[in-house]
């Protein structure tokens, strides 16, 4: 699965409208010693299968605690659900030898694409000891050592560690020049910010597909947790509506899903080549949005 070709060839007409590529992001369940939470996750993926996603992205870090189980998770998702999997891969705290060994293992599983990230530097760790310091170095290494198609992260409202969007775009350009085939953005709620990011990226010589990250909000606390982790602005009307109904879970969910549906429709009308949904390991919210949009061929 070459990511650039996947998105550039996505212009399938559906009632005279381009059909965006759909993909979902999941993460390895925490505190899952008996594997029951992963079994539950597989159940949600089985439900999402009817929306015919191009692939599932699986988060983890090369230096993190979830790497040990990631290969088994990939195998089960492939074998039991039949999805293409795009693993996330971070380079902090990992040697070249360790990364090369892992790349060999995932290619042996038939993996065709990977999302290359720097990753968070652990507190108290001297980053000067790392073999890789930036994501563009990891992209360059993967490009040289494998035949994998490479995705990278983009930040429409600037990376949390970067001083301004123009510096961040220069960093993004380095990743693309190193061999990235597509860019997947951090969750974005304001489409105007996404469209501005597209324009700035294009003017900076970035021409690979840029795919917006969509998070359907289903709870007030969920929104607060997400916003604490990144530079993301919630549109004032959405924030006001969520504030108004924060004591009523059903109304909060309706507000969040209605907003996500309208947001996606605007992106589709603008002919984006794909939509990448942050599922938070659940199927109902994303499924409701896709049902309301009626943009995908549901598989029986």
- The residues annotated as belonging to the active site are 25
Q: Which residues on neighbouring strands pair with residue 274, listed in sequence order?
A: 21
Read off the tokens for 115: 């999302």
Count the Cβ atoms, other than its own, within 10 Å of residue 263: 23
Q: Which residues on neighbouring strands pair with residue 211, listed in sequence order?
A: 184
Give me the long-range contacts of 170-175 (CB less than 8 A, separation at least 24): 170/204, 171/134, 171/135, 171/136, 172/201, 172/204, 172/206, 173/204, 173/205, 173/206, 174/134, 174/136, 175/116, 175/135, 175/136, 175/139
Count the Cβ atoms, other than its own, within 10 Å of residue 134: 16
Cβ neighbours of residue 10 closer than 8 Å, sequence gap 6 or more? 18, 19, 20, 21, 273, 274
Chain centroid to Cα 178, Å, comes to 20
Distance CA 206, CA 227 (A): 27
Sign of the CA dihedral running 135, 139, 70, 182? positive
**Do 149 and 181 meet the contact criterion of CB atoms below 8 Å apart?**
yes
């Amino acid at each position: 699965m070459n990511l650039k070709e996947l998105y550039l060839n996505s212009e399938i007409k559906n009632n005279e409208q381009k059909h965006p590529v759909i993909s979902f992001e999941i993460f390895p369940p925490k505190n899952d010693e008996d594997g029951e939470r992963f079994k539950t996750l597989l159940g949600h993926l089985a439900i999402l299968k009817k929306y015919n996603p191009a692939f599932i992205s699986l988060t983890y870090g090369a230096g993190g605690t979830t790497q040990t189980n990631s290969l088994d998770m990939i195998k089960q998702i492939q074998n039991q659900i039949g999805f293409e999997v795009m693993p996330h891969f971070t380079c902090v705290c990992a040697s070249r030898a360790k990364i090369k060994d892992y790349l060999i293992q995932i290619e042996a599983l038939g993996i065709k694409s990977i999302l290359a990230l720097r990753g968070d530097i652990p507190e108290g760790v001297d980053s000067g000891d790392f073999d890789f310091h930036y994501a563009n170095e990891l992209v360059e290494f993967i490009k040289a050592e494998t035949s994998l198609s490479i995705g990278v992260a983009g930040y429409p409202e600037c990376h949390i560690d970067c001083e301004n969007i123009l510096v961040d775009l220069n960093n993004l350009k380095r990743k693309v020049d190193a061999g990235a085939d597509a860019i997947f953005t951090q969750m974005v709620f304001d489409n105007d910010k996404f469209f501005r990011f597209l324009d700035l990226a294009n003017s900076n010589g970035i021409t690979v597909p840029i795919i917006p990250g969509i998070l359907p909000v289903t709870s007030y606390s969920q929104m607060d947790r997400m916003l604490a982790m990144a530079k993301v602005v919630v549109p004032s009307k959405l924030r006001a509506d969520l504030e108004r109904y924060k004591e009523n879970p059903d109304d909060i969910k309706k507000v969040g899903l209605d907003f996500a549906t309208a947001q996606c429709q605007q992106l589709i009308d603008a002919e984006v080549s794909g939509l990448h949904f942050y599922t938070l390991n659940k199927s109902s919210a994303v499924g409701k949005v896709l049902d309301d949009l009626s943009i995908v061929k549901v598989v029986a």
